[in-house]
Amino acid sequence: MPPQFTFIHLCFLFLLLANSARPTSESQPSIYEVLRSHGLPMGLLPKGVTDFTIDDGGQFQVHLDQACNAKFESELHYDRNVSGTLSYGKIAALSGVSAQELFLWFPVKGIHVDVPSSGLIYFDVGVVFKQFSLSLFETPPDCTAVRSAGPPDLDDGRFIAETVFKSQNGKLRYQLDEEDLGRAVL
């Protein structure tokens, strides 16, 4: 009976070793490591990525706890879900990221690193490419939570309506002041 007992122990030991050799979710690289391995800086995505997937074709999805904004030279907005197609040195078909320029938010459609030695990275915002220093994106930024899923105050048009109202109100006040000035001079 001892030989059978030893055989069972060997089988159990083999199963235990085989199970421990299997990759775990801890051995999967982080999205930041995936970006780095594709020639992109880790700071393109903010801290707080809870989950991500990437397929063999480079299509990826990143999930954040909540929508948030991060400050670089200008402000970037990240939706809860960010997706795109990753290839070496660039992200195409990007969705879920917007860049602010003055008072307007523009969807970022793609990102690409110029020749790495140039130290430049470009954001495709549809009409133009915004140029940034690559050094701004070396580390994942802290991200401030926002209450809506899109750029602040643009989801329901409040920001635009308030801006138009204020500008119209200012024009009206200017016209009235001009009329009063004209009467005072006469």
Instruction: Dump pLDDT digits (tens) for 39-84.
Output: 999 999 999 898 999 999 999 999 999 999 999 888 999 999 999 9
Domain extent for 60 = 2-150
> What average pLDDT does range 7-24 have in this prediction?
43
- How far apart are alpha carbons 126 and 160 in whole angstroms? 20
Greatest distance between any 2 Cα atoms in the chain: 122
Give the CATH number, domain containing residue 14: 2.30.240
Helix (H) / strand (E) containing 91: strand 90-101
Q: Work out how many domains the chain is built from and give that number.
A: 2
In percent, the amount of the chain with pLDDT more than 70 equals 65
One domain for residues 171 and 122: no
Mean pLDDT value across residues 22-47: 85
Q: 130 and 174: one domain?
A: no
How far apart are the C-alpha atoms of 67 and 79, rounded to whole Å?
5
Contact 137, 42 (CB under 8 A): yes
3-state secondary structure at position 57: coil
Residue 145 sits in the same domain as residue 172? no
Q: Which of 36-50, 136-150, 156-170 has the lowest mean pLDDT?
A: 156-170
In a domain, residue 20? The reply is yes
Mean pLDDT over each residue of the chain, to the nearest integer: 78
User: Do the beta carbons of residue 52 and residue 63 sit within 8 Å?
Assistant: yes
Helix ranges, the chain (H): 2-21, 31-37, 158-185
| Domain shared by 145 and 159, yes or no | no
Please indicate, yes or no, if residue 186 is contained in any of the structural domains: no
- Give which of 41, 7, 17, 52 is closest to 116, Cα–Cα: 41
Give the distance, in angstroms, between the CA of residue 154 and the centroid of all CA atoms in the same chain: 18
Distance CA 135, CA 68 (A): 21
**What does each C-alpha distance from 37 to 32, 54, 55, 105 come to in angstroms?**
9, 13, 15, 30
Instruction: Record the tokens describing residue 60, joined without a space.
Output: 């990826």
